[in-house]
């Protein structure tokens, strides 16, 4: 078995803002450390707390960042390129919505927007290496997702062409990450072309099982799809390189189910919740991860339609800490064992000669 899981960590994306302590790296790192977090997951598109251009080129800057974190009692768990990864592949139906993820100068120009996003991903690999990190977390983007429901009937070859193109765009990026020894852990998420186990396998096959194509495991997205999120760990544990600890609940009614009737998050049958307030079996998840030797970070991603972010963050650190399993190196019945004696073993089975 591998070593002990690391944590608790916290993803900063949902907490960043213009007011202290959420507007600078020293302040937000101290805030996280004071709450009991040991790691922070940092989005690369937040220049007020992290300068990606400097981090990609300057060891001095990266040492400065690590020093700020160390002073607060935390380390960087991973860099997040979720929004940049999303822009690697955008179906035109989403152009207007996703333009906001990019700088003003490339909005309204899908080709320039994609080139910018790919450049950011290359920089994130370089920055991760300088920071001593071996994994980033990201999205795949989507070309096929508007057609996920099989009505109207999809033309033959549409999905295969979409995944071929998706892999074509990501392969050179993943090759660059491979050269630097850094994984891209994709958050498997509705809205991306890779939103469940089967679509991950389709993507991986198109990438010829690329070693750097890995998974950021988030059970909340699987519960809302009514998937077996525990078996998912059994199936894909070798590819799971990052974990988002996020809760959710699914309460279908006579009026709505998985698709939730275009309702707001508050009124959906499927909702994200703060840790412990939803239906996710975290004891089962942490047990499965420990069983399979997961030894990277457990990171809170807070999204809740009811509870405040400050309360969710405060409750998240002890929740994760109390669920992390210190994996034993002994069997509970070792006391009853004895030295191996082949002759005795054969005698127990009545084997003579």
CA quadruple 12, 14, 20, 26: dihedral, nearest 10: 10
pLDDT in tens, 60-83: 999 999 999 999 999 999 999 999
- Please choose, from the candidates 310, 278, 279, 316, the residue with its C-alpha nearest in 3D space to the C-alpha of residue 298: 316
- Residue 327 pLDDT level (bands cut at 50, 70, 90): confident
Separation CA 104–CA 173 (nearest Å): 24
Domain ranges across the chain: 6-348
Structure tokens belonging to residue 35: 């709450």
Residue-wise pLDDT for 251-276, tens only, equals 999 999 999 999 999 999 999 999 99
Q: What is the pTM of this model?
A: 0.95
Residue bearing tokens 């768990």: 77
The phi-psi region of residue 226 (left if phi > 0; otherwise alpha if psi is between -120 and 50; otherwise beta) is left
φ, ψ of residue 127 to 5 degrees: the values are -65, -40
Closest of 86, 196, 63, 207 to residue 137, by C-alpha = 86
The separation between the first and the last C-alpha atoms of the chain, rounded to the nearest angstrom, is 38
SS3 assignment, position 75: strand
Report the alpha-carbon distance of residue 233 to residue 19 in Å, rounded. 39
Q: Which CATH number applies to 6-348: 3.40.50.970, 2.60.120.560, 3.40.630.30, 3.20.20.150?
A: 3.20.20.150
């Amino acid at each position: 078995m591998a070593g002990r899981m690391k944590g608790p960590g916290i993803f900063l994306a949902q907490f960043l803002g213009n007011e202290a302590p959420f507007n600078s790296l020293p302040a937000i790192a101290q805030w996280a450390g004071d709450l009991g977090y040991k790691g922070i997951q940092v989005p690369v598109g937040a220049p007020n707390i992290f300068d990606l251009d400097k981090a990609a080129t300057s060891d001095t800057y990266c040492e400065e960042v690590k020093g700020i974190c160390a002073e607060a009692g935390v380390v960087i768990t991973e860099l997040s390129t979720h929004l940049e990864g999303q822009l690697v592949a955008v179906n035109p139906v989403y152009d207007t919505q996703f333009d906001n993820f990019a700088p003003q100068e490339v909005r309204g120009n899908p080709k320039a927007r994609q080139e910018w996003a790919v450049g950011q991903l290359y920089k994130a690999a370089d920055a991760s290496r300088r920071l001593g990190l071996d994994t980033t977390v990201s999205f795949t983007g989507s070309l096929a997702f508007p057609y996920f429901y099989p009505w109207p009937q999809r033309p033959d070859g549409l999905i295969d062409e979409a995944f071929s193109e998706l892999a074509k765009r990501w392969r050179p990026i993943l090759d660059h990450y491979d050269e630097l020894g850094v994984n891209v852990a994709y958050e498997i998420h509705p809205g991306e072309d890779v939103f469940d186990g089967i679509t991950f396998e389709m993507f991986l096959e198109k990438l010829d099982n690329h070693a750097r194509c890995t998974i950021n495991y988030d059970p909340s997205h699987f519960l809302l799809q009514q998937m077996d999120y525990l078996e998912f760990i059994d199936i894909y544990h070798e590819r799971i390189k990052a974990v988002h600890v996020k809760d959710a609940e699914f309460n279908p009614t006579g009026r709505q189910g998985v698709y939730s009737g275009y309702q707001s998050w508050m009124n959906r049958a499927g909702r994200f919740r703060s840790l412990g307030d939803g239906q996710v079996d975290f004891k089962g998840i942490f047990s499965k991860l420990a069983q399979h030797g997961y030894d990277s970070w457990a990171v809170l991603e807070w999204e809740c339609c009811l509870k405040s972010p400050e309360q969710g963050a405060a409750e998240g650190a002890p929740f994760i800490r109390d669920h992390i399993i210190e994996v034993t190196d002994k069997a509970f019945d070792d006391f009853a064992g004895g030295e191996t004696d082949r002759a005795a073993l054969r005698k127990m089975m009545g084997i003579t000669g």
